Amino acid sequence: MAPRTLTAPSSIEDLPPVCNVAQTAAYLACSEFTVREMIRRGDLGHVRLGRLVKVPRYAIASFLGEPGPDAA
């Protein structure tokens, strides 16, 4: 089986409102393991739905220190 590859959006506005771990890792240019570690440490906001982990777009923007498209 070939490895998965995701192309990262060029702008945070291009991300969906809620991303999965793979989408978040592609945007941040890091591994899925690193994203899960950031979540575990509390560095990156997330929502857990059973075993699913979702990262809101505003949490990614906040982590990067920039205003997100969802900010009022």
pLDDT tens sequence across 38-71: 999 999 999 999 999 999 999 999 999 987 666 5
In a domain, 49, yes or no: yes
- Structurally, the chain folds into a number of domains equal to 1
Find the Cα–Cα–Cα–Cα dihedral 53, 17, 58, 19, rounded to 10°.
30
* Residues spanned by the domain of 38: 13-64
In a domain, 71, yes or no: no
In a domain, 50, yes or no: yes
Reduce the DSSP state of residue 66 to 3 states and report it. coil
| Whole-number Å distance between alpha carbons of 49 and 46 | 10
pLDDT tens sequence across 20-33: 999 999 999 999 99
